C-alpha cells in the first residue's frame, strides 16, 4: 500500500453512495471495465494499452492487475454528485471467499459477461446465490470489439440462463466496418431502431413492462396499456425501485477500450442501483449471541463495521478493508473487535479492544486519508493488530457481532517445508499473517505424519498463497508429497512370548511375558487386560507390560505405521526377585507385540472419509463415474429441485481425495463442492501399500 497525495473523495450521505461488486468468470473483463469507469470519472489518468490489448494504469502496473485478478480490488470514484465504490472480485472459483467478501461489502452486484465467451455455469451458480439472499443484480456485456463477439447472442444467453427479469436497456449501433459506435436507448422510441434489430419493439415493450411491473405508481401500467407514451424520467425513476427489489436486472453493453457505453453505465450506477439505505444492514447480535437492536444505515447510530479484507504491507503494516454498516468510523478511536467462529481453521475468536490508526479511501494499492467513514461507506483502516477478515468492529461501550459470510471449506492439502534455516525462522510468523489475511486457509501440523499442511481451496489458491509467502512475506517454502497416515493391525489371532533377559554385571534385567492377541473391532484401539494365575507376573508389573505394548503399538512394527485395533491379554510370564524391574517388563511387553505381529502377520489399513458432493444435476453422472474410479462407495443422493442441484454421499479412501478438488472443479466446470469427515480405517489394497505411506 502507498499513500496518495491526491485529495480523497469527500464523504457523502448514504443516499449518494453506491457500493457495487463486479462479478464474473476469469477473463470476462472486470478489471478492464473498472479501469475504464475510473478513467471516465477522472479518478485515474487515461489508461494505456499493453501488448495483450487490455488496459492498465500504466505499463508498470501489470503485475498489480494480475494480483487483483485473484483478490478483492477496491477503488472509489465520483460521478454526478455520487460516490461509487467498485469492488473488483476475483473470477476463479478458488477465490470464492474473497468474492463473497466483496458481495458482503456491496449493495448490488454487476455481473460482467464477455460477448465472446458468454455465460458459464459458475456465473449461473453465483447468480442463484445472489438471488437467494435478495442481492440486486445487473448485467454488463463487455469485449464488444473483440473478434467473434456476438452481442445479440450474449443477451439471449443471459436471458435464457439467468432467468426472468433480464432485460437489455440498449441496442448496439455499428459502423460500416462493423465496429461498435454507440448505443440506442430502449427507454424511448427510435424510428431508426428497427433497422438495428428486428425485434426492437418487442424488447422495448418487455423492458417497459418489467420496469412498471415493479413500480409503486399503479397508474403507469394503466396508462401504458391505454397506449399513452410514458415519460423517460418516470421510467428512470422506477428503474431504481425495480433493481433494488432484486427482481429486475437491466443489461447494458460496454466497450471499455473505446469508451462506448461507459457514460451510460456510470449513469445507470447512479440512477438505478440501490444505495445502502435501500439495501439494508445484516443482522447482528451481542458477542455472546444474545439479541441486539436491529441496525440501520445511520451515521449517528451505534458503530458496527466489518473487516472484509486484510492485507499486510511491509511499510504500512496490516491494513483492513472495512464496510461500515452503522455509525461513523473515525481515526485514532478505540473499537471493540469481535469474531469470528473459525477457530478450527486457525482463526481464533476475538473479543478485545483496540485503537485504530488512519482511515483512508482505497484506490487500488493507493490510500488517501479521510477524516471519517460514515455508515454505508467503505474505507481502509491501519494498525488493527488483532482483527482478521470477517471480524466485527463496534463501540467498546456497545459491542456487536455480525456473523461472517459463508466460506468454502479448504479441501486441498499442500505439505510445505522451509527452503532454508533462515526461512524456517520466519515461517511461523509469515504463516500467521497469511492465515489472518485469508479466512479460507487452514493451517495444520499433523501429529501422525509431522507434516505442516496448508489447506487450500484449489490449486490456483495454493499457487497464490505460496507466491505471497515468497513475495509479500519474504519466505521461500518448498512443497513435498502429502503423506496419508496408514496404520496396521494383526491379520489374525496369535500367542507370543516376550523375553527380555540380560546379565552384564551387577543387577541384570529379567522379564518374560506370554501374551495372546486378536484383531479388535474397527476403532477399538489397543485393549489390554490380564489373566495371570498364581502371580507369575507380579501385579506391580502388569501396568509396565501394558505400557510397553502401547509404546510399541504407537511406534509401529514396520516403518512408522502404528498398530491399532488389537485386543492383547497377558496370560503368563516369569519374574526375578532381584533383576526384574519396570523397565524390563516394558521392554518385554514391546518385544511381545513384535513377536505377535511376526506370528499372526499384519494388515495395512488406510483412512477413509465420508464425503458429500454438491453439484448441478447435469453433472451427477460424471461425478458418479469419477467416484467409482476412486474406489468410492456411493451411499445415496438427494436432489434439490428448487436449486437444480444434487447432493451425492459417498465413502472414499483419503488418498483418493488428495487430487479430488481439482478434478471435481474440472468435471463440474467450477460449480461443484464437497465436504468430508473422517470415517475410520479399512484394509488397503497392495497398490496403495506398495507406495511409502
Residue 285 in any domain: the answer is no
What cell was used for 25?
Answer: 468468470
HEC sequence for 236-283:
HHHHHHHHHCCCCEEEEECECCCCECHHHHHHHHHHHCCCHHHHCCCC
In Å, what is the CA distance from 124 to each residue of 253, 267, 644?
A: 19, 26, 11
pLDDT band at 62 (very low <50, low <70, confident <90, very high): very low
Q: Are residues 91 and 170 located together in one domain of the fold?
A: yes
Q: Do 98 and 457 meet the contact criterion of CB atoms below 8 Å apart? A: no
Q: Are residues 371 and 493 located together in one domain of the fold?
A: no
What cell was used for 335?
Answer: 473499537
Coil, strand or helix at 167: strand
At residue 464, the pLDDT reads: 92
Give the residue with greater pLDDT, 72 vs 150. Answer: 150
Q: Are residues 273 and 253 located together in one domain of the fold?
A: yes
Report d(CA 83, CA 358) in Å as an integer: 20
DSSP type of residue 503? -
- The burial class, CB within 10 Å (0-12 / 13-18 / 19+), for 525 is middle
Residue 212 in any domain: the answer is yes
What are 231-243's pLDDT values in tens digits? Answer: 888 888 888 888 8
Report d(CA 63, CA 56) in Å as an integer: 10
Q: Are residues 190 and 252 located together in one domain of the fold?
A: yes
DSSP type of residue 58? S
Report d(CA 396, CA 403) in Å as an integer: 18
Report d(CA 539, CA 405) in Å as an integer: 59
The answer to whether the Cα torsion of 224, 226, 229, 230 is positive or negative is negative
Q: Are residues 211 and 319 located together in one domain of the fold?
A: no
Residue 666 in any domain: the answer is yes
What are 88-105's pLDDT values in tens digits? Answer: 998 888 888 888 889 999
* Beta-carbon contacts of residue 246 (< 8 Å; ≥ 6 apart): 131, 134, 135, 136, 137
pLDDT higher than threshold 60 for residue 59: no
Residue 405 in any domain: the answer is no
Q: Do 501 and 544 meet the contact criterion of CB atoms below 8 Å apart? A: no
Percent of residues, the chain, with pLDDT higher than 70: 91
What is the average pLDDT value for the chain, to the nearest integer?
Answer: 86
What are 103-137's pLDDT values in tens digits? Answer: 999 999 999 999 998 898 888 888 988 888 889 99
DSSP type of residue 639? E
What cell was used for 677?
Answer: 469427515
What cell was used for 662?
Answer: 481439482
* Beta-carbon contacts of residue 310 (< 8 Å; ≥ 6 apart): 318, 319, 320, 321, 387, 388, 389, 436, 437, 438
Report d(CA 55, CA 38) in Å as an integer: 12
Mean pLDDT of 589-612: 95
What are 432-456's pLDDT values in tens digits? Answer: 888 888 888 999 999 888 899 999 9
Q: Do 107 and 82 meet the contact criterion of CB atoms below 8 Å apart? A: no
Coil, strand or helix at 347: strand
Q: Do 473 and 427 meet the contact criterion of CB atoms below 8 Å apart? A: no
Strand partners for 317: 313
pLDDT band at 383 (very low <50, low <70, confident <90, very high): confident
At residue 410, the pLDDT reads: 92
Q: Are residues 424 and 564 located together in one domain of the fold?
A: no
Residue reference for cell 477465490: 95
In Å, what is the CA distance from 258 to each residue of 50, 110, 141, 196?
A: 14, 20, 14, 20
The answer to whether the Cα torsion of 444, 447, 449, 450 is positive or negative is positive
Q: Are residues 101 and 187 located together in one domain of the fold?
A: yes
Mean pLDDT of 619-637: 95
Cis, peptide link before residue 340, omega less than 30° from 0? yes
Residue 296 in any domain: the answer is no
Q: Where does a domain end: 600, 631, 666? A: 600
Residue reference for cell 458496527: 304
In Å, what is the CA distance from 59 to each residue of 62, 83, 266, 471?
A: 6, 28, 26, 20
Q: Where does a domain end: 427, 461, 480? A: 480
Q: Do 569 and 478 meet the contact criterion of CB atoms below 8 Å apart? A: no
Mean pLDDT of 589-602: 95
H or E stretch covering 101: helix 96-105
At residue 343, the pLDDT reads: 67
User: What's the CATH number where 658 sits?
Assistant: 3.30.70.240
Query: Which domain covers residue 158, as residue numbers?
Result: 15-279
At residue 122, the pLDDT reads: 83
Report the relative pairing of strands 108-114 and 17-23 from DSSP bridges: parallel
Q: Are residues 514 and 533 located together in one domain of the fold?
A: yes
Quote the radius of gyration of the chain (alpha carbons, Å): 32
Q: Do 64 and 472 meet the contact criterion of CB atoms below 8 Å apart? A: no
Residue 576 in any domain: the answer is yes
Q: Are residues 39 and 98 located together in one domain of the fold?
A: yes
**pTM for this structure?**
0.83
What are 165-183's pLDDT values in tens digits? Answer: 999 999 888 887 778 888 8
Coil, strand or helix at 288: coil
User: What's the CATH number where 501 sits?
Assistant: 3.30.230.10
pLDDT band at 279 (very low <50, low <70, confident <90, very high): confident
Q: Distance between terminal CA atoms of the chain?
A: 44
Q: Where does a domain end: 279, 312, 336? A: 279
Q: Are residues 24 and 155 located together in one domain of the fold?
A: yes
Report d(CA 480, CA 416) in Å as an integer: 6
Q: Are residues 551 and 612 located together in one domain of the fold?
A: no
Residue 234 in any domain: the answer is yes
User: What's the CATH number where 444 sits?
Assistant: 3.30.70.870
Report d(CA 325, CA 323) in Å as an integer: 6
Q: Are residues 159 and 204 located together in one domain of the fold?
A: yes
Coil, strand or helix at 43: coil
Residue 507 in any domain: the answer is yes
Mean pLDDT of 663-676: 91
What are 332-372's pLDDT values in tens digits? Answer: 999 999 986 666 666 677 789 999 989 988 876 678 889 99
Q: Do 337 and 392 meet the contact criterion of CB atoms below 8 Å apart? A: yes
**Can you point out the beta strands (E) in 419-521?**
442-445, 452-456, 477-480, 487-490, 494-502, 509-519
Report d(CA 367, CA 379) in Å as an integer: 9
Overall domain count for the chain: 5
In Å, what is the CA distance from 287 to each residue of 182, 304, 324, 589?
A: 53, 12, 18, 53
Residue reference for cell 451427477: 620
pLDDT band at 58 (very low <50, low <70, confident <90, very high): very low
Amino acid at each position: 500500500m502507498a499513500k496518495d497525495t491526491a485529495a480523497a473523495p469527500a464523504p457523502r450521505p448514504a443516499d449518494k453512495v453506491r457500493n457495487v461488486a463486479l462479478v464474473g468468470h476469469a477473463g470476462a473483463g472486470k478489471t478492464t471495465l473498472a479501469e475504464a469507469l475510473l478513467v471516465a470519472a477522472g479518478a485515474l489518468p487515461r489508461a494505456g494499452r499493453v501488448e495483450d490489448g487490455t488496459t492498465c494504469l500504466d505499463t508498470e502496473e501489470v503485475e498489480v492487475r494480475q494480483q487483483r485478478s485473484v483478490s478483492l480490488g477496491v477503488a472509489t470514484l465520483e460521478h454526478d454528485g455520487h460516490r461509487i465504490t467498485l469492488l473488483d472480485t476475483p473470477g476463479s472459483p478458488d477465490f470464492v471467499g474473497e468474492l463473497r467478501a466483496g458481495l458482503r461489502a456491496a449493495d448490488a452486484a454487476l455481473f460482467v459477461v464477455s460477448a465472446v465467451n458468454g455465460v458459464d455455469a459458475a456465473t449461473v451458480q453465483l447468480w442463484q446465490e445472489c438471488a437467494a439472499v435478495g442481492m440486486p443484480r445487473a448485467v454488463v456485456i463487455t469485449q464488444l470489439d473483440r473478434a467473434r463477439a456476438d452481442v445479440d447472442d450474449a443477451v439471449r444467453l443471459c436471458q435464457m440462463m439467468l432467468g426472468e427479469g433480464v432485460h437489455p436497456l440498449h441496442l448496439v449501433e455499428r459502423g460500416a466496418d462493423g465496429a461498435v459506435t454507440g448505443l440506442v436507448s430502449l427507454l424511448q422510441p427510435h424510428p431508426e431502431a428497427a433497422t438495428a434489430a428486428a425485434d426492437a419493439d418487442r424488447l422495448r415493450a418487455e423492458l417497459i413492462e418489467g420496469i412498471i411491473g415493479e413500480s409503486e405508481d399503479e397508474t403507469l401500467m394503466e396508462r401504458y396499456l391505454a397506449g399513452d407514451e410514458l415519460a423517460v424520467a418516470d421510467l428512470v425513476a422506477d428503474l431504481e425501485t425495480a433493481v433494488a427489489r432484486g427482481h429486475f436486472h437491466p443489461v447494458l453493453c460496454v466497450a471499455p477500450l473505446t469508451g462506448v457505453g461507459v457514460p451510460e453505465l456510470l449513469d445507470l450506477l447512479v440512477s438505478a442501483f440501490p444505495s445502502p439505505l435501500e439495501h439494508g444492514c445484516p443482522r447482528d447480535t451481542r458477542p455472546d449471541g444474545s439479541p441486539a437492536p436491529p441496525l440501520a444505515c445511520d451515521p449517528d447510530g451505534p458503530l458496527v463495521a466489518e473487516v472484509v479484507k486484510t492485507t499486510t504491507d511491509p511499510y504500512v503494516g496490516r491494513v483492513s478493508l472495512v464496510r461500515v454498516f452503522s455509525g461513523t468510523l473515525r481515526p485514532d478511536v478505540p473499537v471493540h473487535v469481535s469474531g469470528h467462529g473459525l477457530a478450527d481453521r486457525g482463526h481464533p475468536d476475538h473479543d478485545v479492544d483496540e485503537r485504530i490508526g488512519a482511515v483512508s479511501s482505497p484506490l487500488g494499492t493507493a490510500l488517501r486519508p479521510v477524516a471519517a467513514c460514515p455508515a454505508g461507506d467503505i474505507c481502509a483502516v491501519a494498525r488493527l493488530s488483532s482483527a482478521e477478515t470477517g471480524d466485527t468492529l463496534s463501540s467498546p461501550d456497545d459491542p456487536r457481532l455480525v456473523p461472517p459470510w459463508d466460506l468454502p471449506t479448504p479441501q486441498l492439502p499442500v505439505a510445505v517445508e522451509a527452503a532454508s534455516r533462515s526461512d524456517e525462522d520466519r515461517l511461523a510468523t509469515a504463516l500467521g499473517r497469511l492465515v489472518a489475511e485469508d479466512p479460507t486457509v487452514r493451517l495444520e501440523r499433523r501429529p501422525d505424519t509431522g507434516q505442516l499442511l496448508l489447506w487450500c481451496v484449489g490449486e490456483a489458491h495454493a499457487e497464490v498463497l505460496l507466491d505471497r509467502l515468497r513475495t509479500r512475506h519474504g519466505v521461500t517454502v518448498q512443497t513435498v508429497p502429502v503423506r496419508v497416515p496408514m496404520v496396521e493391525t494383526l491379520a489374525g489371532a496369535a500367542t507370543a512370548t516376550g523375553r527380555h533377559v540380560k546379565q552384564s554385571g551387577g543387577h541384570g534385567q529379567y522379564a518374560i511375558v506370554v501374551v495372546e492377541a486378536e484383531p479388535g473391532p474397527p476403532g477399538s484401539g489397543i485393549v489390554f487386560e490380564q489373566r495371570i494365575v498364581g502371580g507369575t507376573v507380579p501385579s506391580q508389573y502388569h501396568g509396565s507390560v501394558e505400557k510397553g505394548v502401547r509404546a510399541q503399538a504407537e511406534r509401529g512394527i514396520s516403518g512408522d505405521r502404528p498398530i491399532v485395533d488389537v485386543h492383547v491379554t497377558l496370560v503368563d510370564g516369569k519374574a526375578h526377585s532381584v533383576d526384574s524391574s519396570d523397565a524390563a517388563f516394558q521392554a518385554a511387553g514391546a518385544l511381545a507385540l513384535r513377536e505377535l505381529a511376526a506370528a499372526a502377520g499384519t494388515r495395512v489399513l488406510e483412512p477413509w472419509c465420508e464425503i458429500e458432493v454438491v453439484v448441478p444435476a447435469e453433472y451427477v453422472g460424471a461425478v458418479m463415474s469419477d467416484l467409482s474410479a476412486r474406489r468410492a462407495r456411493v451411499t445415496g443422493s438427494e436432489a434439490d429441485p428448487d436449486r437444480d442441484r444434487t447432493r451425492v454421499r459417498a465413502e472414499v479412501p483419503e488418498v483418493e481425495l488428495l487430487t479430488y478438488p481439482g478434478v471435481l472443479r474440472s468435471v463440474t466446470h467450477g460449480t461443484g463442492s464437497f465436504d468430508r469427515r473422517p470415517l475410520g480405517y479399512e484394509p488397503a489394497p497392495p497398490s496403495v501399500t506398495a507406495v511409502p505411506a
